[in-house]
Structure 1
Amino acid sequence: MQDRYLEPHQARRRPPTEWESLLGDSLERAFATGMHELAPIVEYLNRAGPPAPNGQAWTEVLLQAELARLAA
């Protein structure tokens, strides 16, 4: 029987951009500190970066829209 394994990038269509990698790293750090609610994560991103698209400050609506766009 062949071993089964998870391919962590199986849904990827392309490599992430530098900004996408920075966002992912920052989200991982937020989760590692125990943040799981949207409001504290938005506050964390506004402190730690990266900035939202076009250099805007993060909002809950903007983060939800950006994560939905990246997941599409």
Structure 2
Amino acid sequence: MTDRYLEPNQARQRPTTTYEDLLGDAIERAFAAGVHDLPGLVEALNRNGLANPDGLPWTEANYREAMAVLGA
């Protein structure tokens, strides 16, 4: 029997893009600053200056859409 271990990227189908890395970093900074709700997260992303994938400011609706696409 082989030892089990955690492979954090085991479901990844491809390498992340630069945009995905930047978005992940911005989300992590928001969480580290104590933001834990969607309105606060959207506000933090807009304050950070990272636009959504379409180049527009973040809204709760387009954040949900982007996460559905990125998580697919």
Which has the bigger relative contact order, CA under 8 A and spacing at least 6? Answer: 1
Instruction: Name the SS for the 1:53 alignment partner.
Output: coil
- C-alpha separation between the residues in 2 aligned to 1:16 and 1:41? 21
Cα deviation for residue 44 of structure 1 reads 0.3
Q: Say which structure is richer in helix.
A: 1
Cα deviation for residue 54 of structure 1 reads 2.3
Q: Structure 1 unaligned segments of length 5 or more: list them.
A: none
Q: Structure 2 unaligned segments of length 5 or more: list them.
A: none
Residues 32-65 of structure 1, C-alpha deviation per residue, up to 9 Å, x if partnerless?
A: 1111100000000001132112210000000011
- C-alpha separation between the residues in 2 aligned to 1:6 and 1:61? 33
TM-score normalised to structure 2 length: 0.92
Instruction: Name the SS for the 2:54 alignment partner.
Output: helix
- C-alpha separation between the residues in 2 aligned to 1:24 and 1:5? 24
> How many aligned residue pairs are there?
72
The residue that corresponds to 1:39 in the other structure is 39
- C-alpha separation between the residues in 2 aligned to 1:32 and 1:19? 20
TM-score normalised to structure 1 length: 0.92
* Matching of residues 24-35 of structure 1 within 5 Å: 24-35=24-35
The residue that corresponds to 1:8 in the other structure is 8
Kindly, what percent of the aligned residue pairs are identical?
56
Tell me, yes or no, if the aligned pair for 1:23 and 1:49 is still in contact at 8 Å.
Answer: no
